[in-house]
Chain A
Amino acid sequence: MLYDVKLTIDYAYDAPTDRARNLVRLLPSDIAGEQRVLSRLLTVHPMPPERSERVDFFGNSVTSLVWHGPISEVVFKVVARVERLAPAPRLDLSPPLGLFGAELAGVQSLAPASPHHFAAPSRRAAPDPAMTAFARDAIAGAPTVLAAVEAVGRAIHATMRFDAKATDVDTPATEAFANRHGVCQDFTHVMISCLRGIGIPAGYVSGFLRTVPPAGQPRLEGADAMHAWVSAWVGAEMGWVEYDPTNQMWAGTDHIAIARGRDYDDVAPVRGAMRGAGGQESRQAVDVISV
């Protein structure tokens, strides 16, 4: 599928900030076999005097922006054309859960795609007894790791209610899980925590969903803003698979990835340090049209 992506994010600050510095992860990248970026452009207003691009540890595109004077508003605009190839997993070649631990231990690597980065607790996705118990119940009878991932994703979708007002960007996964509601970020953190709790390495993917569904299909949840879903490592043979618990589906050609990491902190679209007091407000608008 070929898409035209448009994204606008606005930040307005109550008090002008001195020497603002942002790290921005808004540009999609090529992913072998899954996604090809034909064109991409990030424009920033007001124009920062310092701007540089690089790739972070996990392979995400990062833009560093620095303003030397005070600013009271920032607008980020992304325009990209992306071809999405990723198929949902068809054949289950993952090992049974009983053999999984040894298979994981056999991976001797610190490379970015190594599952070991995603097995341990991270700041925003740490297993806790409640989520781990929930996950254990969910996977009862699952023959393989892949089946277990899907079972956990389905269970979360079944128990958690999508509610755009109930949580914010800083809500801990434990709280979203306890209240059984949240947005895609919460669903994703809960699922990562659940999977890590039962020994399955899992990470966070930020990206977009197509805005207008194919004829006859319902519009997906989370399509009007940036989206998030889960990537999970299901063994040496299959490697990484992606599941969207908010929509109870394998991520496929409707999903366009921007960044991957252990949790939201690794992929935050705009990470900013503003010198100055006062609050801030942000709005975003997304359009993902198939062409």
Chain B
Amino acid sequence: MQDAAELSQNHPYLDGYQPVAGVADELYDAQGRMRPVWRPFVEAFSRLSPDEVRARFGRADQYLRDAGVYFRQYSHDPNTDRDWPLSHIPVVLHEREWEAISAELAQRADLLEAVMADLYGEGRLVSEGHLPAELIAGNRAWLRPMVGVRPRGGHYLHFLAFEIGRSPDGSWLVLGDRAQAPSGAGFALENRMATGRIFPESFPRARIHRLAGFFSDFRTALGELAVDDHGRRQRVGILTPGPANDSYYEHTYIARYLGIPLLEGEDLLVQEAQAMLRTIEGPEPLGVLWRRIDASFADPLELDPGSWIGTPGLMEAIRAGQLAMVNALGSGVLETRALMAFLPRISEVLTGRPLDLPNIATWWCGSAAERAYVLDNAERMLIGPAKAVNLPFDLAAATAPGGDFHGLARPAVEAWIEAEGGLLVGQEAVTLSTTPAWREDEGADAPGGHVRPCPMTIRVFAARTPQGWTFMKGGYARIGPEGEPTALAMQRGGRVADVWIVSDRDVPPLTLARRGDAPFRRQAENTLPARAADNLFWLGRYIERCEGAMRLVRSYHLRLAGIGTAEDPRLDRLDAFVTGFGIDLSEPVPGALIQQLDAARGCAAKIRDRFSTDGWLALQDLAKTARQMTQTAQPGDDAAGVMRVLLRKITGFSGLVHENMYRSEGWRFLSIGRALERADGMAALIAAFVEAEAPAGSLDLAVEVADSVITHQRRYRVETSRETVVDLLALDAENPRSVLFQLGELKHQIEALPGAVEAGRPGEILRLLLPLWTALDVAAPEDVTSGMLGEIRAGLARLSDLVSQDFLR
């Protein structure tokens, strides 16, 4: 046995680490000996100086911030994202223990599949009295349209998660099953990436099992599920509720990581009972949806009619066996708390075997004996809604911990249980094991900290493959606060940690890229979903529109500062011009500009899976800065300065996109949006500032807004005249600000779009564009009249409609 003094001498960070009596601890066994599986980690960690610890933790936090990992609070305010609460010390488990847990949970996964098949099939569990009818028939997650439906591929469940905790005797316990649309697997990946920044050394890293194999196997399984009866490979998608969802970040991350398109309900349509993905090349058959939306929202026609995020007709495709859902709609019923009370018996009935890994003891208050037991033992119970689907420690308002219901006296609890009966369950208030978590020392003058025992649970992920269930060799740990390690404490917790499954020897390296089956990857990248194209198109338009507005506002305030009064014909003209775009120049940072930036951000948010993190952060920063500056900006020089800052940021964003974005169809739509907006803005500017009756100085103003002052000087070496300005801003094919240049860009991009050329002849969009481009290409400055510019603008508006109609719906 190791002496505690010796321990703390060798491992100063462990000084004072004192597991609670009667509680299992991950680091020390019951005899107070450090578990061998932790030893390499503890040795390595103890060698780090406090400054090193600090620096490494900082690297992990920096990684998470740079990656844009955030934790969305339940709120519609986009500013409530908070930093990812990483607990920097991983949970360490030996692979033998993990294999045992996995094998036991595989039995449970099979059992849940069998329960699904019964609840949506024969209904024997109810008719033979193993499950009360009211728990199912009165359950919102049990979806009647699914009754009698055989899922494509033959299975209801493909991806599951289990929340497990360790009991005081060292054995494991299932606290909850996640079967609806389990989250956390992507966050587990991010925790691993971040923790890798803290412990980059090859030892003990080489002995930690990788996570990639699990995802690779699952992606392959999804691909196989997408092969139709004729051997054709259909498309796979991830269905998200959208940016307002609290785990949207994870959806985008998983989609990018696996190379599977992230879809929303409006990306899909159902035709002849076949789910189709709307793409820029028309609808394409979709065979598998990994859904991250609750099933009841999936189809407003047959499920919740109030759903705006679903796809009408989806149920029809499922019923026809044409669409596999991961998991099948209706799987949420398996999360019902009260089901835990019956699963031990159901396991015996359906499989002839007891549960290998028991779940948290649960009593349904619908029958008299159980109700009496719960009443007699209320102090050791969590009492809550029977049909709730949250985990026992995610306390709902109506859960009574330890029999103490919002401070009500015991008689009130009794009355409550008697009155509600079958609506309630009691669950044992289990005690969880503790695991090391870092705590900074008090007092800023002595930088450093110690590890302390904190309660934890682990989320385990399982995926179905043709060979059976496969388990992630790792997990998503939740760490509660130090103190009493009851399940209850977890809800006040709120830190998360990586889970290391450690082998006795080096594990072979494995990355997703190497294992990924190439045909599936290629297919996933081919045709662009129409909604993504639409958002990219509008992102291009909004960004260009913002940039144009910023230049106009800057010119206005520069002149205002120079002249000292707003009483000036040039300023009047500028004011009238921008008023046409909804911009109010009496606001130094116009509200219309903020709205456009928000619109751009909204478009980008919907396509984050196709968009670099740097680009996204740059856009976030731009919108935030603009918003902050509305508070302080003053008219004149100050406002001009603000616009200069914003212009620098927006061109930075455009540069990132232009330099870094893969030249895919998506990039093409972004470019079309941008070119269209720029050509239109320039045509409008020329018409307003270059025409004959424009006030003196207007020509210089136009050149300035067009960011072409230097070019003009170099090209013409004369004062601005109508001819030189029109030549430069409308007709110069080498000036990226000119209308002709942008029409050429449009022509170039549109020619590359699918179907742009029909049977060797230009299609409708090109037939519209080519005359505009040709007319301008051969025009002399005097030909460029406001009438011609008006025609170009009308043509561009029509072109935008045609692009939307042909590709974006």
* Chain A residues close to B by CB (< 8 Å): 18-19, 21, 23, 50, 52, 56-58, 64, 66, 68, 105, 107-111, 114, 116-117, 119-120, 123, 265, 268, 271-273
Contact = CB atoms under 8 A, between A and B. Distances in A.
Contacts of B313: 21, 64, 66, 273
A66 B316 CA distance: 12
Contacts of A19: 269
23 contacts: A21-B270, A23-B301, A23-B302, A50-B271, A57-B144, A68-B271, A105-B132, A105-B134, A108-B133, A109-B123, A109-B133, A110-B127, A110-B133, A110-B137, A111-B123, A116-B134, A119-B138, A120-B139, A123-B304, A273-B300, A273-B301, A273-B312, A273-B313
Nearest to A20: B312
Nearest to A111: B123
Given A57-B147, A109-B133, A273-B301, 8 more contacts: A56-B145, A105-B134, A109-B123, A110-B133, A110-B137, A117-B144, A271-B301, A271-B305
A107 B133 contact: yes
Contacts of A114: 133, 137
State the 7 A-B residue pairs at the shortest beta-carbon distance, nearest first.
A120-B138, A273-B312, A116-B137, A57-B144, A116-B133, A110-B123, A21-B312
B809 interface: yes
Contacts of A272: 301
Interface string B52-93: 000000000000000000000000000000000000000000
A111 to B, nearest CB: 7
B713 to A, nearest CB: 50
Contacts of A56: 144-145
B301 A21 contact: yes
A64 B366 CA distance: 40
Contacts of A268: 305
Contacts of B137: 110, 114, 116-117, 119-120
B133 A18 contact: no
Interface residues of B, number: 32
A148 to B, nearest CB: 20
A64 B128 CA distance: 35
Contacts of B127: 108-110
A110 B136 contact: yes
Contact of B809 (A18, A68, A107, A110): A18
A58 B316 CA distance: 17
Contacts of B301: 21, 23, 271-273
Interface of B: 119, 123, 126-129, 132-134, 136-139, 144-145, 147, 269-273, 300-302, 304-306, 312-313, 316, 366, 809
Residue with the greatest number of chain A CB neighbours at <10 A, chosen from B129, B147, B301: B301
Interface centre among A57, A108, A271 (most CB of B within 10 A): A108
B126 A108 contact: yes
A55 to B, nearest CB: 10
B528 to A, nearest CB: 20
B126 A110 contact: yes
A50 B134 contact: no
A265 B126 CA distance: 26
Nearest to B306: A123
A108 B144 CA distance: 17
A58 B147 CA distance: 11
A227 B301 CA distance: 22
A107 B366 CA distance: 14
A51 to B, nearest CB: 11
Q: Which of B119, B137, B138, B300 has its CB near the most chain A CB atoms (within 10 A)? A: B137
A109 B126 contact: yes
B539 to A, nearest CB: 22
A186 B63 CA distance: 57
B215 to A, nearest CB: 35
Contacts of B123: 109-111
Contact of A119 (B134, B273, B809): B134
Nearest to A68: B271
A19 to B, nearest CB: 6
A114 B366 CA distance: 18
A17 B271 CA distance: 16
B385 to A, nearest CB: 12
A19 B312 CA distance: 10
A183 to B, nearest CB: 19
A19 B272 CA distance: 13
Nearest to B310: A273
Nearest to B312: A273
A45 B269 CA distance: 22
A114 B147 CA distance: 14
A265 to B, nearest CB: 6
B34 to A, nearest CB: 52
B296 to A, nearest CB: 10
Nearest to B266: A275
B271 A108 contact: no
Contacts of B271: 50, 66, 68
A108 B809 contact: no
A193 to B, nearest CB: 15
Contacts of B312: 21, 273
Nearest to A54: B319
Contacts of B270: 21, 66
A64 B316 contact: yes
B138 A57 contact: no
A114 B273 CA distance: 30
A109 B119 CA distance: 11
A64 B314 CA distance: 12
B108 to A, nearest CB: 23
Nearest to A274: B312
A84 B273 CA distance: 36
Contacts of B119: 110
A68 B271 CA distance: 8
A57 B123 CA distance: 14
B417 to A, nearest CB: 16
A244 B606 CA distance: 49
Contacts of B144: 56-58, 117
B105 to A, nearest CB: 28
Contacts of A111: 123
B333 to A, nearest CB: 11
B466 to A, nearest CB: 32
Contacts of A50: 271-272
B133 A57 contact: no
A120 B129 CA distance: 19
Contacts of B145: 56-57
A64 B271 CA distance: 12
B290 to A, nearest CB: 23
Nearest to A117: B137
A116 B269 contact: no
B196 to A, nearest CB: 46
Nearest to B269: A19
B137 to A, nearest CB: 4
Nearest to B809: A18
A110 B146 CA distance: 13
Contacts of B306: 123
A114 B144 CA distance: 13
B680 to A, nearest CB: 24
Contacts of B809: 18
A209 to B, nearest CB: 26
Which of B126, B147, B305, B312 has the largest count of A CB atoms less than 10 A from its CB? B312
A123 B134 CA distance: 17
Contacts of B304: 123
A199 to B, nearest CB: 11
Given A56-B145, A265-B305, A271-B301, A116 B138 contact: yes
A48 B80 CA distance: 47
Nearest to B126: A110
Contacts of A119: 134, 137-138
A120 B134 contact: yes
Centre residue among B119, B302, B366 by max chain A CB count within 10 A: B302
A105 B129 CA distance: 11
Contacts of A273: 300-301, 312-313
Given A116-B133, A123-B304, A108 B147 contact: no
